[in-house]
Every structure is written in C-alpha cells, then in structure tokens.
C-alpha cells in the first residue's frame, strides 16, 4: 500500500513538472517557424550551473540566491507583431484556462502587463507574464519555487524589463 501511494505521488509530481511552462510551450509550437518571434528556454540544468558561480558583490549574491530555487524559464517575444493586441487577449485567456490566478495587471499607454501565478499551500510554483503593446507581444514563464520578492532582483540582473513591474506591488504595499 505504501509503495503504491509513493508511486502515485511520484507520478503526480512528475506530471506536475512536465506541465510547467506548458502555456509558453504552446506558443513555441505555434510560432516555431516564425523568425519574428524569439523563443528562449533555460533549463533547470542551466540554473544549477548558476548556483556554482562565485558571487563577488552583494548584488551577485542576491541574484544567485534568487535563482537557486528556479527550475526553468521560457520566453517568447516579438517586437514587430501585426496582431499584438489580439495575441495579448488570447494570452490572458490561455493563462486563465490553464488554472492560473491573476496577480497583477499593469495598463500602460505603451504596453500592458498581466501577471498570473500557480500557488499551492503558499508556495508559488509558476509565474506567468503576458505583455502586449502596439507592436510587441511576449509571454514568459518562470517555474520552480518562486519568491516574488526575489523575482524583481532576477529581472534587474537579467534585464527582463516586464518583470520589474513586480516592484510596483511592493511600492503599492508600502503606500498602503
């Protein structure tokens, strides 16, 4: 009985790991042959290499600590997309259908950002960002064990502009 339970739990965990990054993967397949979109994927192996790096400054130490619990990242982006507004709406709808919970939306004259998370027992296992502007569209997924406070640090170090919007959540909290 114990063996069966262990097997089922392991199987479910494996399925859960496979499902991570699924929303972005769908867009990877859809635009596989479209050179207007850049498709980037960083695996758990790459993040494990980051953890081997020697940190010099405090900023580097913070960055390495923040990435140490990440299992992967997938990004699709295009900055010259004809139907960016339609893609942005589709993206938000796909994220909702995949069972993500909305975290924050930033509406801007130039670009809109939609953040959503998958959370269980207080642990965020995946963060998705969909952004769309006049010509640009991007969808990003970060998965692993995610601490939102650290994500903006990663965003700053990796120059992921959209994710730095998460800092606005902290600013809002401080204003309240």
Partner 1 sequence: MTKKSFFIGLILWGLSQPLFAQESILKDFAEERNSSKYCLYPSTLRMLNLKNNEAYTELANSFEKFLIYDLDSTTASDKSYRGIMKDYRSEDFEEYISIIGGGNEVLILGEEKRTNEMVGVFGMDGKVFVFYLLGNIQWQKIPTLINTLSENDLINIFDIKMDEWD
Q: For residue 104, what are its two tokens?
A: 């924050």
39 lines the binding site for partner 1 (CB under 8 A) = yes
29 lines the binding site for partner 1 (CB under 8 A) = no
DSSP secondary structure string for all residues of 100-131: -EEEEEE--SSEEEEEEEEEETTEEEEEEEEE
Per CB under 8 A, contacts with partner 1 among 49-78 are 49, 52-56, 60, 78
CA dihedral sign, ordered 89, 93, 96, 100: negative
Q: Which is nearer to partner 1, 8 or 55 (CB)?
A: 55
Q: Which residue has the tokens 């569209």?
A: 137
Pattern 103-142, partner 1, x by CB under 8 A: ----------------------------------------
The full length of the chain comes to 176
Q: How far is the CB of 19 from partner 1 (least distance, A)?
A: 18
Q: Report d(CA 133, CA 126) in Å as an integer.
A: 23
Q: Interface with partner 1 by CB under 8 A: which residues?
A: 34-43, 45-46, 49, 52-56, 60, 78
């Amino acid at each position: 009985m114990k063996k069966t339970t262990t097997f089922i739990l392991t199987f479910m965990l494996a399925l859960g790991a496979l499902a991570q990054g699924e929303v972005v993967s769908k867009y990877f397949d859809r635009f596989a042959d479209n050179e207007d979109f850049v498709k980037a994927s960083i695996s758990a192996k790459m993040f494990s290499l980051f953890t081997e790096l020697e940190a010099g400054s405090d900023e580097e130490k913070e960055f390495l600590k923040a990435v140490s619990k990440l299992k992967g990242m997938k990004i699709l982006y295009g900055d010259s997309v004809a139907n960016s507004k339609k893609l942005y709406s589709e993206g938000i709808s796909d994220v909702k259908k995949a069972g993500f919970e909305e975290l924050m939306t930033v509406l801007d004259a130039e670009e809109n950002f939609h953040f959503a998370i998958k959370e269980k027992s207080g642990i965020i296992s995946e963060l998705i960002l969909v952004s769309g502007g006049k010509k640009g569209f991007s969808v990003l997924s970060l998965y692993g064990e995610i601490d939102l406070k650290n994500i903006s640090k990663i965003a700053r170090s990796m120059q992921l502009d959209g994710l730095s919007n998460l800092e606005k959540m902290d600013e809002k909290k401080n204003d309240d």
